[in-house]
Structure 1
Amino acid sequence: MKALLVLGAAAFAAGAFAQVTPVGTWRSIDDKTGEAKAEIRITESGGVLTGRIEKSLKKDTKPDAVCDECRDERKGKPIAGLEIIRGAKKAEGQDVWEHGKILDPENGKEYTLRLAPVDGGQKLQVRGYLGPFYRTQTWVRVQ
């Protein structure tokens, strides 16, 4: 019985630890309006994060919407499945992922990215930098 409790506690701790990462599905919340904009799935491969829009949550988005404002190979690509996060890596000794890029498909601009899980990994602080200026959104983990 004691062994089962220890195993259960270890499994719970491992699950809790695994959640302090940007990997997973997130609901992006507009920092200006407070409305949900999209669900984004962040994955990790070889220590590098990538994020794609799973679906738009904006009421006025057409099902066949494409990224008209994108300036690279993503121009004209469907919003659903669009890669918006590229190249973020974990900062040594911190629960922060940096030095990647994030795309705002509404204006086609790419920003330097910083991701920081907060509230035990239930929220994600997403900060995009353009020079000394930045904008921060808090995304909510989708269960």
Structure 2
Amino acid sequence: MKKFGCACDEEKEPTILDPSIDGPSEEIIEEHIREKIEEGLFDDNPIYDKNHLSDNLKKLNETPVMNEKTIFPDILKAHKLPEGKFGLLRVLSGKVNFVWEENPEVIYTVDSDHPLVIFPEKHHRVILNGPAELKVEFYE
């Protein structure tokens, strides 16, 4: 796995988070991630959101439903949302992986039961690992 922004020589195995298989995320997060949570790293940044973002946000638009053949290529490359714009990654069928480029060793599994909130100005990318249908909703 290519490491972004890391000059270290040591190759680490990615941490795969999949709450639909192993239960609630607090039960499957490995010890080093728990320490980050205890330090307050994620206090104001919920990752999985059942159905929506804050009620204060207004939906702007959304991508068409995409699959492994029709996905926009830029979604698979590192990119970011502009300031003030949030995304909600919804997977309609199958599963995809999601990576925050600042912490590429942690891979989030996104499925129909676990949409993922995408925060503004944070580089990220989607990783396809099989057939899937997905879309991204945009809010401000």
TM-score by length of 1: 0.29
Q: Pick the structure with more strand per residue.
A: 1
Larger radius of gyration: 1
Query: Which structure is higher in RCO with an 8 Å CA cutoff and minimum separation 6?
Result: 2
